[in-house]
């Protein structure tokens, strides 16, 4: 059975990184140097169980020697990423009963697993500094969580003797290490590290006995960490204390500037009074009194830049004569297209040319409305009516008419002016209407 935690771990690690980085303060001024890279070595005890609970496959789990190393990058005083590697042995047997007194009568009597490798990437969070107002501390508590891969070879003992559980094959399975620890700063370059990690294995092969539940093992260790580079260690830096110092300095600077600010406020008040006199507008026409050549204009009067009433031009009135309508009517009557197409027949060009000349001469606007009979589908007729109206517009534009003053719309068969049951009625319905305005 796979652990659901493996599926959600990438999201959890991303959230942990973003949340921690967002909450971290700038550790110091840009000129301050910090050590952010470090390497560590450790050794300790490997045990094939978890003290947090759960059923163990063997009643007597033994403690064996393990050793490891890591490389770490510190991003803020609170957060780092650490790449860990661990090797060692895991052992257990059934020579003793469980604490409850129950005897384990499993067919596998003992196991001896060689942990060939265990590599994981861990997010490490420093929980707090011991002294909030001390810029650097000598003790740091931390927690970690990550994901990785472990490779191992179990050897099992049964009534038939001792044998390799998977032959000479190294079994590789995912692990989730969860740990905590305490770090003591010996110098700016060296720390003493105590830690304990529980590794949850995504499988049930670690001890060579398959019972359908995931195995686990823990690693308790002590070691040394060596900070690389020069300067102080960022992990032991306390941004809370630094923020307090910076706040004091900021207050002192603010007190020193208070006199200058008070003087500036008085100067600003004087300038505001003078500006109010310059911008005074008694008649409310938007032009200051000092520039208004026509004072006391009535409220709501539109004025020019000097404050005098602005005379609006009279609107132009479009007059369409009977002669103009006759030109358009003639074009409608003579307009013909190829059957089932939007191609204008040449016999229609002469009357369309007169319409184009009228639009250019009098700057009229024109609406073209294409219509069809009910022969064919609704979609086809709608498209054909639109294409025929657009075809007429394109021809008029080619003869000099203003395209922005011509609107072409297709209505398909939705607006008949005669019955579609007769050929004559359908002929009337196949049309393009011209409307001058």
CA 77 to chain centre: 26
Q: Is residue 202 within 8 Å of residue 173, measured between CB atoms?
A: yes
> What is the DSSP secondary structure assignment for residue 346, as one 8-state letter?
G
Query: Between the CA of residue 12 and those of 1, 146, 202, 205, 411, what are the distances in Å?
Result: 21, 10, 18, 27, 59
Per-residue pLDDT band for 25 (boundaries 50, 70, 90) equals very low
- Distance between CA atoms of 277 and 259, rounded to whole angstroms? 28
Q: Each residue of 174-195: b (16+ CB within 10 Å) or e?
A: bbbbbbebebebeeeeebebeb
Cα dist from 351 to 127, 337, 342, whole Å: 90, 14, 17
**pLDDT for the residue numbered 308:** 84
Ranking 64-68, 210-214, 228-232 by mean pLDDT, the lowest is 210-214
Structure confidence at residue 242 as a pLDDT band (50, 70, 90): low
Side-chain half-sphere CA neighbours of 381 within 13 A? 19
Q: Tokens for 382, please give them.
A: 């709608």
What token pair was written down for 11?
Answer: 């999201």
pLDDT surpasses 50 at 27: no
Flag whether pLDDT at 340 surpasses 60: yes
Greater confidence (252 vs 354) lies with 354
Query: What's the pLDDT score for residue 339?
Result: 82
Q: Which comes out higher in pLDDT, residue 246 or 120?
A: 120
Residues forming beta bridges with residue 436, ordered by sequence position: 366
- Identify the band that residue 81 occupies on the pLDDT scale cut at 50, 70 and 90: very high
According to the model, what pLDDT value does residue 427 have?
87
1 has pLDDT over 80: no
Least confident of 31-45, 125-139, 182-196: 125-139
pLDDT > 80? residue 229 = yes
Share of the chain above pLDDT 90, in %: 53
Which of 243-265 are b and which e, b meaning 16 or more Cβ less than 10 Å from the residue's Cβ? eeeeeeeeeeeeeeeeeeeeeee
Q: What is the per-residue pLDDT across 284-338, written as a single tens digit (0 to 9) for each? A: 777 887 777 888 888 777 887 777 887 666 666 778 899 999 999 998 898 988 8
pLDDT for the residue numbered 294: 86
pLDDT recorded at residue 313: 61
The confidence band for 201, taking pLDDT boundaries of 50, 70 and 90, is very high
Q: Is the pLDDT of residue 21 over 50?
A: no
Nearest to 191 by CA among 84, 45, 70, 86: 70
pLDDT tens sequence across 56-75: 788 888 999 999 999 999 99
Q: Is the pLDDT of residue 246 over 80?
A: no
3-17, 86-100, 346-360, 386-400: lowest mean pLDDT where?
Answer: 3-17
| Confidence (pLDDT) at 5 | 42
Neighbours of 92 (CB within 10 A): 25
> Among 2, 52, 74, which residue's Cα sits nearest to residue 180?
52
CB 207, CB 215: distance < 8 Å: yes
Residue with the bigger pLDDT between 47 and 254: it is 47
- Distances, alpha carbon 294 to alpha carbons 275, 297, 298, 299, 305, in Å: 22, 7, 10, 13, 11
With tokens 């049951």, the residue in question is 421
In this structure, of 29-38, 111-120, 184-193, 267-276, the range with the lowest mean pLDDT score is: 29-38
Mean pLDDT, the chain, integer: 85
> What is the per-residue pLDDT for 33?
87
Q: Which residues of 397-427 are buried (b: 16+ CB within 10 A; e: fewer)?
A: beeebeeeebebebbbbeebeeeeeeeeebe
- Say which residues have a Cβ less than 8 Å from residue 400's Cβ, sequence separation at least 6: 356, 357, 360
Q: What is the mean pLDDT of residues 87-109?
A: 88
pLDDT attached to residue 187 = 94
359-407 pLDDT, tens digit each: 999 989 999 999 999 988 999 999 999 999 999 999 999 999 999 999 9
Confidence of residue 4 (pLDDT cuts 50, 70, 90): very low
What pLDDT sits at residue 62?
92
This model's pTM is above 0.85? no
Q: Indicate whether 350 pLDDT > 70.
A: yes
Average pLDDT of the residues in 134-159: 89
The H or E element spanning position 257 is helix 239-278
First to last CA, the chain: 79
pLDDT of res. 262: 84
């Amino acid at each position: 059975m796979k652990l659901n935690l493996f599926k959600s771990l990438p999201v959890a690690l991303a959230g942990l990184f973003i949340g921690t980085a967002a909450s971290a303060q700038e550790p110091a001024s840009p000129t301050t140097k910090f050590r952010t890279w470090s390497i560590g070595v450790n050794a300790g005890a490997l045990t094939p169980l978890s003290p947090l609970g759960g059923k163990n496959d063997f009643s007597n789990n033994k403690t064996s020697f393990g050793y490891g190393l890591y490389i770490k990058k510190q991003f803020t005083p609170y957060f780092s990423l650490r790449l860990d590697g661990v090797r060692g042995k895991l052992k257990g047997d059934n020579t003793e009963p469980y604490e409850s007194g129950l005897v384990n009568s499993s067919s596998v009597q003992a196991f001896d697993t060689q942990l060939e490798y265990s590599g994981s990437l861990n997010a490490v969070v420093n929980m707090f500094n011991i002294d909030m107002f001390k810029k650097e501390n000598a003790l740091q508590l931390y927690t970690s969580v990550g994901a990785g891969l472990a490779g191992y070879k179990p050897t099992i003992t049964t009534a038939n003797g001792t044998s390799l559980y998977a032959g000479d094959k190294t079994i590789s399975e995912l692990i989730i290490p969860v740990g905590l620890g305490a770090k003591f700063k010996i110098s700016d370059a060296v720390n003493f590290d105590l830690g304990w990690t529980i590794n949850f294995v995504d499988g049930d092969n670690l001890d060579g006995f398959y019972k359908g539940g995931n195995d686990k093992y823990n690693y308790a260790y002590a070691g040394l960490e060596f900070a690389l580079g020069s300067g102080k260690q960022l992990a032991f830096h306390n941004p809370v204390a630094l923020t307090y110092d910076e706040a004091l300095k900021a207050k002192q600077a603010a007190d020193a500037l208070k006199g200058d600010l008070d003087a500036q406020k008085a100067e600003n008040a004087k300038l505001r009074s003078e500006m109010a006199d310059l911008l005074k507008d008694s008649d409310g026409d938007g032009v200051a009194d000092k520039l208004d050549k026509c004072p006391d204009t009535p409220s709501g009067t539109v004025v020019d830049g000097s404050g005098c009433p602005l005379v609006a031009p009279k609107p132009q009135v479009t007059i369409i004569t009977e002669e103009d309508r006759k030109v358009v009517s003639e074009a409608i009557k003579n307009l013909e297209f190829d059957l089932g197409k939007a191609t204008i027949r040449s016999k229609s060009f002469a009357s369309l040319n007169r319409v184009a000349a009228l639009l250019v001469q009098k700057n009229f606007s024109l609406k073209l409305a294409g219509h069809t009979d009910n022969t064919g589908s609704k979609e086809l007729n709608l498209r054909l009516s639109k294409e025929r109206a657009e075809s007429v517009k394109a021809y008029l534009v080619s003869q000099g008419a203003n395209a922005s003053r011509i609107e072409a719309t297709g209505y398909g068969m939705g607006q008949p002016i005669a019955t579609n049951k007769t050929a004559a009625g359908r002929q009337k319905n196949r049309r393009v209407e011209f409307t001058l305005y």
